[in-house]
Structure 1
Amino acid sequence: MDPAGRVTTRRYVLMNAVIITSVTIFALDILHFRPRPLTVQDKAVGILLVLMGVYTQTELRGWYRYYSKNAQNGCAPMPVYPNDMFGIRYFLEAVRQVRANALLESRQQRMKSLGHTFVHKLFPEPGLCVDTDDPEIVKTILATNFEDWIIPEIRVRGMLPVLGYHSIFTTNGPEWQHARAMLRPAFVRDQISDIQCFDRHVSKLIDRIPKDGSPFDLQALFAMLTIDTISDFMFGQSTDIMGTASPEALEFGACFDRSVFKIACRVRLGWLSQLLPDRELDADVAYMRKYVAQYVQNVKGQTEKDLENGARKYVFLHELIKTGEPDEVVRDQSLSIFLAGRDTTTSVLTYLFFELSRNPGIVAKIQGEIQGLGEHDPSWEQLRGMKYLNWAIKEALRLNPPVATNAREAVRDTILPTGGGLDGKSPTFVPKGTTVRYLPWSMQRREDIYGSDASEFRPERWEDLKVTVQYLPFNAGPRICIGQQFALTQMALITFRLLQAFNTIERKDERPPVRKLGVNTSMLYGCWVSMHRGPE
């Protein structure tokens, strides 16, 4: 057995012996040697013994079983986050890092110091937690041993207030399979390749950009654009935030931003944070549900003839309603679509243009590719065939994966192929209930995978780089993002149109970039740039 395992075993055996002996002596004292009513001192001793028993049979027994099972299965235990038996230190550090918008960077540094995989407790969760950026472990939990892992209960509870019980993001097993089957028709090629749906909204974005070169926040415009495109694409009518949006649509966007950030914090900080009441969150959720319910009623009120005469051939919400699902299911899936379709694209586009604003050489190469295409209005196939443009998007997804951290929970005792031992290369046992948190943000910056310049934005690396699960912007395995081609098509078209319309883009914010971590990543200070048109 590992030396740490032997220490834990001795501690567990010793504590059991101490408790049994103490309880025996205490019982004999008050019942036989000195019979008496319980005094305050007796009650205090009794409470102390109970607490010692709870600690021994939960914390110590959990660690004892972890080390014992590793030895029995011929595995090696993982490195342990130091000096943190109950996970309180880890929890408090996470709270500080979230408030300081430094969680991603600190976790990457921890991987470098402790190893690519380590185990710890997270107060007040009862089970073990594993942090990893090891591609082999990620592959195992997402694909190879998919049936051993589910979306963690802590994430489900955290997201329920906004996404509901039927969302593709809050369900597991057959209910998740049913939800995925309902949503998949929205993302078949015929719908994705209908880029005219995106194009009319990009035109509004371009019209909003200052013509005199004044600085503006491109992240804010991208957030407005993507909520318009996702609502139009999925529901047949746009919120029109870029145009003449109603006050209700503007309020919906504000409520959505606030509530999504709050549930992301609750997921990361554990169930204790979820016990606290939040009236603002409750009010925002109530408003969003009412807003989406109105969409549902509007589509229900349309006839088949109305839909056939409309500009759009396919309205996903109409198809979803035709399945006969209850309104509650339709609402939950609708909010899920808003979450996935809006924030992912906004996050990646913001980071891409942040990099472009300080890399004029990359802008020139993309513009050269645009001019070489010889088409003002590219088709879906032509966008997909633009190598350098797509390399730049892939590089933005590598350095800024929209879901920077993710997790799975073991539904049974299982074994991970690596992560054990001092070198992290041995198989390691994980008990049922263990949460494995994997970090694409850190994994996609590993120098042993992407080279010594892994932290640099260099699209050319994709010319000969071959990666599989080491590159994970849209997850992998059966739960791979069904909307990835939808997102990539939007990103390519928006980048094409902006660099077609403007000759230069310059950064206008000297503050160091800080990432704000919600469900997706965003730039804390926005993306302040100026853009200049060429001569007409």
Structure 2
Amino acid sequence: MSLSTFFTYTTLAGPLILAALFFLVPVYQDLKYRFQVWCRKSNAQAPGLPPTIYSIPFGIPFFIDVLRYSKKQTLMPFIQKIWHSKQTATIRLQTIGEFDILTSDPENIKAILAVDFKDYNFGHRHGAFEPLLGDGIFTLEGAGWKHSRAMLRPQFTRQMIAQLDSIERHVLQLISVIQASSGENVDLQALFFKLTIDTATEFLFGESVQTLSGGNPKITYARNFDLAFNSAQAFLARRFRLNIFYKLADTQQFREWCTTCKSFTDSYVQLALERADQKQENGEKEKEKEKERERERESYVFLDELVKETRDPQVLRDQALNILLAGRDSTASLLSWIFYNLAIYPAVFTKLRAEILTHFGTTPSTLSFESLKQCKYLRYVIDETLRLYPIVPANARAAVRDTYLPRGGLGPDSESSDPDARYFGTRPVFIPKGTILGYSVYVLHRDPHFWGG
């Protein structure tokens, strides 16, 4: 055989081998799982097979759909359709390079997050999120997570977070921005994200970034942070969806966004460390210290309290960024969905406004955790908004050992006349070590089995 013929065969063989692997690897994965389930059929509680949805080849069509619907901002309705296509609460889905288990069954979600919590970890989350969030409470697990939780939990008592005067000041700034629009259309969601970053930075870091009023000149990247933080988070979501291939999503622009966010937070960390050093150098008398502590309780600063636990700038930055993410996005998202729904349902808006005026009047002086509890219709509006539009609509864990979900597997007894037998399954689901489990409260909160048609 001539050298040219050899190279011709080699050139042809490469793509053919790759194409074969794209089909053979998923076949092997599928048959291996089915064999593992079959080997356990003699157990006291023999597992069953959840319905399987294939995405041939190699899970690529599903991955393309995820990207397409994410771009349209309709990913959750698309995921909901997947569940409805099988008329079951737990499914096995071929994703890019593997088969995952997806569930909206509350019993299975309880097992993942509570009953069998030690059987799961965050999977690839740390690697995917590390460029922005570092080693914080949302990325660490095991001992690192426990240490973060122990360090952060004391900072969030009811007394510490009731700083309504600060919130009122920023809300008034928001209203002035809306009034300055002179009747033009206003993007409330964008303004809510500015509002919550302003309130969160004041509560967490002691000084607002003031995005609603042009940016705080004391803070590095104060004007650029909002865009960088939003863009970096969107990129993190893309990395996370790539699963084990998350490192493929890494660009210079992404790294620059992360650097901007870290430099922004470093400015606050430096200010907090300087405040702590100043207090130590002053050497106040005990009486003056007690007065200062009383003032601090009235004007609580999360980062100042965290400095008492650690003076490591990187630890402070990573934890601060993690908490800032939660403090900004959750509240801004909830506010956006509430106002969206109030615009659609004017009767609800009218009733809610009347009840708020009845309970609180036009000033926040009577607001407190206790008085808010008495405003039941406000609670109903918030709860129903969170049901339909949960802040974290879906999440995932990875099995660290062979384990089981309590139900979702199908067997001969699943074909009974009881509709719940087919929908929820009558057998446990075997979860091999390394399997990714996705769970969706978005799908659960819209499930006709619980909420009606």
* TM-score (normalizing by structure 2): 0.83
Aligned match for 1:331, one of 308, 314, 317: 317
Q: 1:133 to 1:264 in 2, by over 3 A?
A: same
Offset of residue 145 of structure 1: 0.5
**Counterpart in the other structure of 1:462:** none
CA deviation profile, 1:205-244 (whole Å, cap 9, x unmatched): 2222227654312112111100011101111111111235
Aligned match for 2:58, one of 67, 86, 90: 86
In structure 1, C-alpha distance between the alignment counterparts of 2:99 and 2:244, rounded to whole Å:
15
Comparing 113-122 and 390-399, the one that deviates more: 113-122
In structure 2, C-alpha distance between the alignment counterparts of 1:170 and 1:430, rounded to whole Å:
23
Listed as ranges, the matches of 1:285-364 within 5 Å are 285-302=258-275, 303-304=278-279, 308=292, 313-364=299-350
In structure 2, C-alpha distance between the alignment counterparts of 1:138 and 1:429, rounded to whole Å:
15
**Counterpart in the other structure of 2:32:** 65
Q: 1:312 to 1:282 in 2, by over 3 A?
A: farther
**Counterpart in the other structure of 2:91:** 118
SS at match of 1:113: helix
**Counterpart in the other structure of 2:439:** 438
Q: Are residue 393 (structure 1) and residue 382 (structure 2) matched?
A: yes
Aligned match for 2:137, one of 168, 178, 194: 168
Offset of residue 392 of structure 1: 0.2
In structure 1, C-alpha distance between the alignment counterparts of 2:173 and 2:23, rounded to whole Å:
63
The letter for the 1-side match of 2:82 is R
Query: Are 1:414 and 1:429, in contact at CA under 8 Å, matched by a contact in 2?
Result: yes
Q: 1:324 to 1:83 in 2, by over 3 A?
A: closer
Q: 1:298 to 1:75 in 2, by over 3 A?
A: same
The letter for the 2-side match of 1:443 is L
Query: Are 1:70 and 1:77, in contact at CA under 8 Å, matched by a contact in 2?
Result: yes
The letter for the 2-side match of 1:439 is S
Query: Are 1:150 and 1:408, in contact at CA under 8 Å, matched by a contact in 2?
Result: yes
CA deviation profile, 1:90-129 (whole Å, cap 9, x unmatched): 22222222223221111111111122221123223xx431
The letter for the 1-side match of 2:106 is P
Q: 1:253 to 1:49 in 2, by over 3 A?
A: closer
**Counterpart in the other structure of 1:476:** none
CA deviation profile, 1:429-455 (whole Å, cap 9, x unmatched): 111111011111111111221122xxx
**Counterpart in the other structure of 2:149:** 180
The letter for the 1-side match of 2:251 is D
Offset of residue 284 of structure 1: 1.3
Q: Are residue 230 (structure 1) and residue 230 (structure 2) matched?
A: no
Query: Are 1:104 and 1:441, in contact at CA under 8 Å, matched by a contact in 2?
Result: yes
In structure 1, C-alpha distance between the alignment counterparts of 2:259 and 2:428, rounded to whole Å:
47
The letter for the 1-side match of 2:163 is D
Query: Are 1:117 and 1:130, in contact at CA under 8 Å, matched by a contact in 2?
Result: yes
Offset of residue 57 of structure 1: 8.9
Offset of residue 372 of structure 1: 2.2
In structure 1, C-alpha distance between the alignment counterparts of 2:174 and 2:113, rounded to whole Å:
37
Aligned match for 2:47, one of 68, 72, 75: 75
**Counterpart in the other structure of 2:245:** 272
Aligned length: 411
In structure 2, C-alpha distance between the alignment counterparts of 1:103 and 1:412, rounded to whole Å:
30
Comparing 74-83 and 432-441, the one that deviates more: 74-83
Q: 1:412 to 1:52 in 2, by over 3 A?
A: farther
The letter for the 2-side match of 1:363 is F
Query: Are 1:118 and 1:132, in contact at CA under 8 Å, matched by a contact in 2?
Result: yes
Q: 1:348 to 1:326 in 2, by over 3 A?
A: same
The letter for the 2-side match of 1:234 is L
Q: Are residue 197 (structure 1) and residue 197 (structure 2) matched?
A: no
Offset of residue 54 of structure 1: 7.1
Offset of residue 413 of structure 1: 0.7
Q: Are residue 217 (structure 1) and residue 187 (structure 2) matched?
A: yes
The letter for the 2-side match of 1:330 is L
Listed as ranges, the matches of 1:442-453 within 5 Å are 442-452=443-453
SS at match of 1:75: coil
The letter for the 2-side match of 1:117 is T
**Counterpart in the other structure of 2:123:** 152
SS at match of 1:92: helix
The letter for the 2-side match of 1:109 is K
Q: 1:354 to 1:43 in 2, by over 3 A?
A: closer
SS at match of 2:146: helix
Query: Are 1:148 and 1:411, in contact at CA under 8 Å, matched by a contact in 2?
Result: yes
Offset of residue 39 of structure 1: 6.2
Aligned match for 1:141, one of 98, 112, 116: 112
**Counterpart in the other structure of 1:529:** none
**Structure 2, unpaired ranges of 5+:** 41-45, 415-421
In structure 2, C-alpha distance between the alignment counterparts of 1:84 and 1:342, rounded to whole Å:
39
The letter for the 1-side match of 2:171 is V
CA deviation profile, 1:261-294 (whole Å, cap 9, x unmatched): 1111221233435324311111111122112111
**What value does the CA root-mean-square deviation take over the aligned residues?**
2.8
The letter for the 2-side match of 1:69 is Q
SS at match of 1:344: helix
The letter for the 1-side match of 2:37 is N
Aligned match for 2:77, one of 105, 110, 129: 105
In structure 2, C-alpha distance between the alignment counterparts of 1:349 and 1:45, rounded to whole Å:
57
The letter for the 2-side match of 1:368 is A
Query: Are 1:259 and 1:285, in contact at CA under 8 Å, matched by a contact in 2?
Result: yes
Higher share of residues assigned helix: 2
| Aligned-residue identity in percent | 34
In structure 2, C-alpha distance between the alignment counterparts of 1:51 and 1:445, rounded to whole Å:
41
CA deviation profile, 1:50-69 (whole Å, cap 9, x unmatched): 87997899544432331122
* TM-score (normalizing by structure 1): 0.71
In structure 2, C-alpha distance between the alignment counterparts of 1:237 and 1:52, rounded to whole Å:
57
Q: 1:312 to 1:39 in 2, by over 3 A?
A: same
